[in-house]
Chains A and B, each alone.
Chain A
């Protein structure tokens, strides 16, 4: 009796971030062709090389097929001609120089999300590059970063100010034709973040971007490029949330990371986009290509992700371990509730000698959620003494959900050491009873047990982000036992 009542109560909790901000949008009519791309590029006043790059990607995209056939996800066909490919909030011509110049409606939106910009600035010392729909409207802490020579700016700005870096690195990790969604992104990406850390610099603060999808029917195509030059370090945080919508929204971002000799990049994501309602209606389609290249010797790239949102998640943050002694890490929590589907994992490609990789993937399935881990560990012939440790744990919260694990291992060098461990378990009745008997509510009990299950991943997140992620797991899950 008590169990069912509390489950119902929690399931009735609405998505907290479901509201739409009323900012006038300047939006293209739906449709995609070369003219649309030219217009997009023209609006952004892009140099010729960018337009060419986009067109090349577009032509490649036309030849590619959606990855329906191999991913363990189901969704109706997306009509790419029915989507609009540009939407910008109206802002003052020169862009805001301080928060006072930012649309107050936008600031209120952040407040509702619990992340007022100035609060974050002041409390956490985080520089926030706020992406609202497709155009960056607020960039902070620039001066402090500039002092160290760190570049952290909207992608569209980097195209103008740092064309050489863009030309050298854009598409060097995720080529334009890499996959269907990456090609689409390359053709029509709206904006995103660009980061460059100069040699020998430890970035003095966590860099953070908050994304938010707003205008109806507009695909969101972010592009992020982070370069850590030799002996540098940067930690980058990405957090997302979206207002409630009925129609599905497509999101196809591309993130490229490049670490040169002895450089380290730590990239953390908390993804909380609208997952659809309890019946599986609505929600974001999240088709992301994230890849890092450890180009230099002794370089290191760590991906940490907590994925609780989206109707569909298709995402494999990967590391190419090119430099000798380089290290790749992937720490992931993926949660699917109601009718959410996630097909996520990583690829670790060992090319250099003495390279090592660690994969810790925690999948939580509730309701009718389907959760798939898909991982590839590939050791090339020249990768002497490569090591990988993979641990995949699945936690089931209901009788109707599913957990699936597809580990692929390809080894072409017999000095490799590969370890794989996997477990699947149901949330323990004993643990739940113990927590309830000590006075905790069912909600808190589930949240605590699940957070405990995810601890190895959560501890990789920067402190303030971890707190947010913990709450998120709570809200997304509690009461879904049954």
Chain B
């Protein structure tokens, strides 16, 4: 419920290979909140998402991260996902030869299984996914194409949101979900995100632009620079940055 702990990052440092990317990073996200993270290219925003999701090669070297009641780093990548951590990809990944609907059903059922829920059978799942695809104005043809293969940039992003809507995570980290979207698509995807806003769920939006934040109004805005959060504020901070840029920070 609102105000309950979702994610608590304390003094996090992380390396990629042998390069230190994040250091002394602190962030607290509570259930029901939407946080936006902005910051210059190369400041470590995607790295943060990867560290939290448990990508191979992204190593936390100091600090602690609590996710719900768990020590995040004690969980494997897939356990984090099954407990409700979702990361949308800045550059979505293609899987040749595997249809979207097959992949998504396997993912949704893996998560359900871990919670002790019955898996969806093929018919029920088709019903569910068609409903979500319709909401996102996605042609059903996309369900039967190989995962992200040959999708346009915007279509890939829409497909990320389809995954988000199906997996219904507790904490969604959306990395530049708005980049490459046309105006109508931005509206549709924002509606998708807003639909997920709930008192027991939190969302972290990584973005460069105010335009997404016009649709999905954040509770907090943070600026990440050179691997740490250097400034935090309310929605007005994003508008301010739009005017001034990062130079003054």
Which residues of A are interface residues toward B (Cβ below 8 A)?
1-3, 5-6, 428-442, 444, 448-449, 451-456
Contact = CB atoms under 8 A, between A and B. Distances in A.
Interface in B62-115: 76-78, 81-82, 86-87, 89, 93-98, 103, 106-108, 110-111, 114
Contacts of A434: 89, 93, 95
Contacts of A3: 56
Contact of A430 (B81, B93, B114): B93
Contacts of B93: 428, 430-431, 433-434
B146 A439 contact: no
Nearest to A457: B97
B7 to A, nearest CB: 16
A453 B97 contact: yes
B47 interface: no
Given A429-B56, A430-B93, A431-B93, A439 B98 contact: no
Given A442-B78, A449-B95, A437 B87 contact: yes
Contacts of A2: 54, 76-78
A435 B78 CA distance: 8
A452 B98 contact: yes
A45 B57 CA distance: 67
Contact of B56 (A433, A453, A454, A455): A433
Nearest to B146: A452
30 contacts: A2-B76, A2-B77, A2-B78, A5-B76, A428-B93, A429-B56, A430-B93, A431-B94, A433-B93, A434-B95, A435-B103, A435-B107, A437-B54, A437-B77, A437-B87, A438-B103, A438-B107, A438-B163, A439-B81, A439-B108, A439-B110, A439-B111, A439-B114, A440-B107, A442-B78, A448-B98, A452-B98, A455-B97, A455-B98, A456-B97
Contacts of A429: 56-57
A438 B167 contact: yes
B54 A452 contact: no
Given A448-B103, A452-B146, A441 B110 contact: yes
A448 B106 contact: yes
Given A439-B82, A440-B110, A452-B146, A433 B55 contact: yes
Contact of A452 (B89, B95, B107): B95
B53 interface: yes
B214 to A, nearest CB: 28
Contacts of B78: 2, 436-437, 439-442
Interface string B10-36: 000000000000000000000000000
Nearest to A445: B78
Nearest to A433: B55
A5 B108 CA distance: 23
Contacts of B77: 2, 433, 436-437
Contacts of B146: 452
B18 to A, nearest CB: 17
B81 A452 contact: no
Contacts of B108: 439
Given A439-B110, A444-B106, A452-B95, 7 more contacts: A2-B76, A429-B56, A435-B95, A437-B77, A439-B114, A444-B110, A451-B97
Given A438-B167, A439-B81, A431 B110 contact: no
A437 B103 contact: no
Contacts of B110: 438-441, 444
A428 B54 CA distance: 16
A451 B108 CA distance: 19
A6 B103 CA distance: 21
A5 B74 CA distance: 13
Given A444-B106, A448-B106, A437 B97 contact: no
A437 B53 contact: yes
Nearest to A452: B97
A437 B114 CA distance: 14
Contacts of B94: 431
Contacts of B107: 435, 438-440
A332 to B, nearest CB: 15
Nearest to B148: A434
For the complex of A and B, the 10 pairs showing the least CB-CB separation, nearest first, are A452-B97, A2-B76, A455-B97, A438-B107, A452-B98, A434-B93, A436-B77, A439-B81, A439-B111, A439-B110
A262 to B, nearest CB: 33
Interface string B149-170: 0000000000000010001000
Nearest to A6: B76
A458 to B, nearest CB: 8
B81 A449 contact: no
Nearest to A450: B97
Determine which residue in A3, A429, A452 has the highest number of CB atoms from chain B within 10 A of its CB, and name it. Answer: A452
Contacts of A456: 97
A466 B166 CA distance: 28
Contact of B81 (A6, A428, A432, A438): A438
A451 B97 CA distance: 7
A454 B95 CA distance: 12
A437 B55 CA distance: 8
A432 B76 CA distance: 13
A6 B167 CA distance: 24
A358 to B, nearest CB: 18
B236 to A, nearest CB: 33
Contacts of A431: 93-95
Nearest to B169: A439
